[in-house]
Amino acid sequence: MKNLLSNRIQNVPESFIRSILKVSTQPDVISFAGGLPSADLFPIEGLENACHKVLQTNGKKALQYSSSEGDSDLRAWISQRYQEKQGLNISPSNILITNGSQQALDLLGKVLLNEGDPIAIENPGYLGAIQSFSLYQPIMHTVAIDENGLDTKQLADVLEEHKPKLLYTVPNFQNPTGISYSQENREAVAQIVSQHDILLVQDDPYGELRFSGEQKSNFYELLPEQTLLLGSFSKVVVPSFRLGWIVAPDWLMKPLVIAKQAADLHTNYFSQQVISQYLQDNALDDHIEKITHFYGKQKQAMMDAISEHFPGDVKVAEPEGGMFLWITLPKGVSAMKLFDKAVQEKVAFVPGKPFYVGDEVQENTMRLSYVTVDEAKISEGIKRLAYCMKD
Amino acid sequence: MKNLLSNRIQNVPESFIRSILKVSTQPDVISFAGGLPSADLFPIEGLENACHKVLQTNGKKALQYSSSEGDSDLRAWISQRYQEKQGLNISPSNILITNGSQQALDLLGKVLLNEGDPIAIENPGYLGAIQSFSLYQPIMHTVAIDENGLDTKQLADVLEEHKPKLLYTVPNFQNPTGISYSQENREAVAQIVSQHDILLVQDDPYGELRFSGEQKSNFYELLPEQTLLLGSFSKVVVPSFRLGWIVAPDWLMKPLVIAKQAADLHTNYFSQQVISQYLQDNALDDHIEKITHFYGKQKQAMMDAISEHFPGDVKVAEPEGGMFLWITLPKGVSAMKLFDKAVQEKVAFVPGKPFYVGDEVQENTMRLSYVTVDEAKISEGIKRLAYCMKD
């Protein structure tokens, strides 16, 4: 009965990451492949206290059906956080709670994209966004990124020539490259975008995980009417709750709420209440400081091991935050082939290839995560990788 | 920038229910409109114990990202329950955990429906399904239902003429009508469906809430290769967790998992663990017996009040379970007009009209829920409705 399948689902690429994860979760493999936050840092006790409090004081309400928009206290907290941390004025009524920011991508696809509509996306880019959008069968145009951010010449050309409906970006500690757009790059991008009828999506799961350098402008500051913000609690509090949000202008909120309602009525309301209680009773900044201190140390351990063991012609883009390092091997070296060897040596990473859309693939790139394994293992894993590179 | 919206979102009908809910949640209104389970019956203590246990014994795992398919213990429990309660052999590997059964509808739309594909749906039918499917822009063909189930003559014609990809059914205590398909009707429907290349969706949120009569065959028993089962914990344990599932054959599981991953990576894993723990530590049958005992009494209270106060020419379909009564007013009477009067008298319900697809609307029908307000209010509300009918 396979003939009953829709065209869209038959066009989705197999996830290479999924098959990698099968290899990399074997117990004796040192894995730099995944993007899992460190479980040692989860605030188990704080969340347990919050569960208790919510069920004791407000159990009936917390367990009942609720509104598609999301919990009003949680939306107010997010609004206030934008004010405090980034000086942005965002009304709670422009915030929709979603199942992680991943669902925000799906809802955007649903309310914006007809089959064949043009969109623009960073290259290389976040696989989850590529997969999510691809189910709505748009035409994807790519804009290259480097250490400074988007290639503004290419961006201007793509917007001029193809008139994409949206531009997808992760300007802070991007996945997969770990790079951040410079302040100048953001301003140049905003300037170009402002000349077109297009929405800029700033996906920002890692933005608060900065261990060096300075915060740059949020696109919402530069382009308030054209920017959609995606946020998530997955990397700063807890991933399994699947709690994220989207900030959208009034005209887009109503369609998004209808799409949300059709998708799953509303996001788990108990978990919304629990995280809201947790955020009331605990200083999130203190918790984030613990995370960034830890990730910063791990990043340094990986950088040090790389300097010591990797051949001199291997380039590393050093991130100011987030979870990933991006490695560029000498031209002509295939990270896919390196991966096959690495697996034999019991060390795993993600080759760059699956993060590229279209033909402009840099086969000599790879992504390493420094957050999941400890410093001793980081050093040992990098040594093994260096050994594989020697051939 | 509204020109950026997709065609599909511009075609979704406004939800009349939503506007009704605004009226019906005013504190002095007696509302038979909503479909909210009784919050007095939520197992708050049992869930709190489960939260505690999960976080104490397995906190790191329960708070981490998890698999798109869902928690293996929970899938095993569901598989076993099908065996015990309905004698069905369903492997856990054919069960995908979703955000309520609502998300299963969305995922089905995603993996099966191209724009313009034909589908068949009960008339009147569940609004959430109509809304969810309509975002994939199918052509909806309707099959009328009465006290016995689907109109088999019409079903045979629709399947022959339009070759729909799927047939959506709620054979137990249907929403909105409360009716259940008879055993004969199920067998006749299965016989017709077996002759076509079509999937039958059995959505079954209320199936376990039976207070009289006997269990009938699950369509999976009659048509194992063509039946998809949708299930939910919302009506038997807790709605706010948004936990449901879909049972699908091997060839459909892989596309569904890809669609689930693109939609939100996975369902809230903490809540999956909590409900799984709750189900291990508590006898669900005892809890369901409490619910059905309570709902049965409320249903009887409403039936009694109706017999006493409603005019003799108002017909009521008496349900054997679930949450709804379906009222048929004399021909020519508009339930929409009655609604306007009722609101003035501070009593609310849902007119039948929004549940119909297409032109064959029975304007003289209405849905009453007996689960949300207590017996005294049921009696008072029915009196008020009877007063409105007198004109």
Q: Among residues of chain A, what percentage have pLDDT more than 90?
A: 91
Do A199 and B4 lie within an 8 Å CB cutoff?
Answer: yes
pLDDT at A17 over 90: no
Report pLDDT for A23: 73
A319 φ, ψ (degrees, to nearest 5): -85, 155
Distance from CA of B303 to the nearest CA of A (A): 26
Contact list, B269 vs chain A (CB under 8 Å): 240, 242
Q: What pLDDT is recorded for position A360?
A: 85
A251: nearest CA partner in chain B? B2
Residues 6+ apart with CB under 8 A from B140: B119, B120, B121, B130, B133, B134, B357, B358
Q: Is the dihedral of CA B315, B317, B318, B322 positive or negative?
A: negative
Give, rounded to a whole angstrom, the gap between the first and last alpha carbons of chain A: 48
The confidence band for A1, taking pLDDT boundaries of 50, 70 and 90, is: confident
The model's pLDDT over A274-311, given as tens digits with 9 standing for 90+, comes to 999 999 999 999 999 999 999 999 999 999 999 999 99
Alpha-carbon dihedral angle through residues A52, A53, A59, A61, given to the nearest 10 degrees = -140
Best of B242, B276, B291 to substitute, by most chain A Cβ atoms within 10 angstroms, is B242
Residues of B in contact with A240 (CB under 8 A): 62-66, 268-270
φ, ψ of residue A118 to 5 degrees: the values are -80, 140
End-to-end CA gap in chain B? 48
Confidence of residue B10 (pLDDT cuts 50, 70, 90): confident
- pLDDT of A213 higher than 70: yes
Q: What is the pLDDT of residue A13?
A: 67
The C-alpha atoms of residue A147 and residue A124 are separated, in whole angstroms, by 12
Domain boundaries, chain B: 2-43+286-389, 59-281
Residue in B47, B264, B276, B291 to test binding to A, most A beta-carbons within 10 Å: B264
Q: What is the pLDDT at residue A109?
A: 98
Measured in degrees and rounded to the nearest 5, phi and psi for residue A144 equal -70, 150
Q: How confident is the model at residue A390 (pLDDT cuts 50, 70, 90)?
A: confident
pLDDT of residue B27: 81
**For residue A14, is pLDDT > 70?**
no
pLDDT band at B253 (very low <50, low <70, confident <90, very high): very high
Nearest to B240 among A7, A63, A98 (CB): A63
| CATH architecture assigned to B2-43+286-389 | Alpha-Beta Complex (3.90)
Q: Give B-chain residues touching A268 at CB under 8 angstroms.
A: 99, 240-242, 268, 271
pLDDT band at A144 (very low <50, low <70, confident <90, very high): very high
How many Å apart are CA A302 and CA A325, to the nearest integer?
A: 9
State the pLDDT at residue A95.
Answer: 98
Interface touch B48/A55, C-beta < 8 Å: yes
Q: Which residue of B has its CA nearest to A9?
A: B111
Q: Would you state the CATH architecture of domain B59-281?
A: 3-Layer(aba) Sandwich (3.40)
Question: How far apart, in Å, are the Cα atoms of B283 and each of A344, B49, B268?
Answer: 48, 14, 23
**Per-residue three-class SS string for A9-66:** HHCCCCCHHHHHHHHHCCCCCEECCCCCCCHHHCCHHHHHHHHHHHHHHHHHHHHCCC
The answer to whether the beta carbons of residues B169 and B218 sit under 8 Å apart is: no
The answer to whether the Cβ–Cβ distance between A4 and B197 falls below 8 Å is yes
How would residue A11 be classed by pLDDT, with cut points 50, 70 and 90?
confident
Distance (Å, whole) CA A180 – CA A173: 5
Q: How far is B250 from chain A, CA to nearest CA, in Å?
A: 11
The ipTM is 0.96
Who among A40, A99, A111 is closest to B9 (CB)? A111
**For the segment B69-108, what is each residue's pLDDT rounded down to a tens digit?**
999 999 999 999 999 999 999 999 999 999 999 999 999 9
- Report how far apart, in Å, the C-alpha atoms of A194 and of each of A151, A220, A227 are: 16, 12, 10
Alpha helices (runs of H) in chain A, residue ranges in sequence order: 7-10, 16-24, 44-63, 72-86, 100-112, 127-134, 152-162, 183-193, 219-222, 250-264, 269-281, 284-309, 335-344, 375-389
Contacts of B369 in chain A (CB under 8 A): none
- CA-CA distances (angstroms) from residue A268 to A69, B57, B98, B313? 11, 23, 11, 44
Residue A343, Cβ density class (10 Å: 0-12 exposed, 13-18 middle, ≥19 buried): middle
What's the whole-model pTM score? 0.97
**Has residue B20 got a pLDDT over 80?**
no
- Report, as an integer, the average pLDDT of A229-249: 97
b/e map B306-339, b = 16+ CB within 10 Å? beebbeeebebbebbbbbbbbbbbeeebebeebb
Summarize pLDDT for B333-384 with one digit per residue, the tens: 999 999 999 999 999 999 999 999 988 899 999 999 999 889 999 999 999 9
Judged against a pLDDT cut of 90, whether residue B11 lies above it is answered with no
Nearest-CA distance A302 → chain B (Å): 23
> Is A113's CB within 8 Å of B47's CB?
no
Number of other residues whose CB lies within 10 A of the CB of residue A361: 16
**Nearest-angstrom CA–CA distance, B37 and B47:** 17
CATH code for the part of the protein at A45-281: 3.40.640.10
Only one residue has tokens 């017909």, namely B315
Contact flag B64-A39 (C-beta cutoff 8 Å): yes
**Interchain proximity B251–A98, CB inside 8 Å:** no
Q: How confident is the model at residue B323 (pLDDT cuts 50, 70, 90)?
A: very high
CA distance A100 to A116: 26
The verdict on a CB contact (< 8 Å) between A268 and B99 is yes
Q: Measure the CA dihedral B284/B286/B291/B294, to 10°.
A: 180
Over the stretch B134-144, which tens digit does the pLDDT of each residue have? 999 999 999 99
Residue located via tokens 């009196």: B383
Of residues A40 and A27, more confidence is placed in: A40
Are the folds of B2-43+286-389 and B59-281 the same? no
Token pair, residue B338, equals 């009655």
Please report residues of B whose CB lies closer than 8 A to that of A36.
Answer: 64-65
Residue A391 and residue A341 in contact, taking contact as beta carbons nearer than 8 Å:
yes
In the structure encoding, which two tokens stand for residue A93, read together?
């009524």
Across the A:B interface, residue pairs with CB atoms under 8 Å apart total 233
Query: What is the DSSP secondary structure assignment for residue B210, as one 8-state letter?
Result: B
pLDDT bin (cut points 50, 70, 90) of residue A34 is: confident
Decide if pLDDT at A240 tops 80.
Answer: yes
Residue pair B363/B312 in contact by the 8 Å Cβ criterion:
no
Q: Which residue of A has its CA nearest to B225?
A: A1
Query: Is the model's pLDDT at A21 over the cut of 70?
Result: no
Q: What is the pLDDT of residue B35?
A: 82
The model's confidence at residue A160, banded by pLDDT at 50, 70 and 90, is very high
Give the count of beta carbons closer than 10 Å to the beta carbon of residue B23. Answer: 15
d(CA B131, CA B53) in angstroms, rounded, equals 38
Say yes or no to pLDDT of A250 above 90: yes
Q: Which residues pair with A257 in a beta bridge?
A: none
How much is the pLDDT for A15? 67
For residue B15, the model assigns a pLDDT of: 67
Q: Which chain B residue is nearest to residue A249, measuring alpha carbons?
A: B1
Query: How far does B315 lie from chain A, in Å, by closest CA?
Result: 31
- Measured between CA atoms, the residue of chain B closest to residue A241 is B268
Q: By percentage, how much of chain B surpasses pLDDT 90?
A: 91
What is the pLDDT confidence band of residue B21, given thresholds at 50, 70 and 90? Answer: low
Are residues B42 and A64, on separate chains, in Cβ contact within 8 Å? yes
Residue A117: is its pLDDT beyond 80? Answer: yes
Q: Which of B106, B114, B264 sits opposite A242 (nearest CB)?
A: B264
User: Tokens 């696809």 label which residue?
Assistant: A109
Q: What's the average model confidence in pLDDT over B277-281?
A: 98
Please determine, for residue B24, whether its predicted confidence score (pLDDT) is greater than 80.
no
Contact predicate A231/A101, CB 8 Å: yes
Q: Which contiguous run of DSSP H or E holds residue B192? A: helix B183-193
Rounded to an integer, the average pLDDT of A113-119 is 97
Position B283 scores a pLDDT of 97
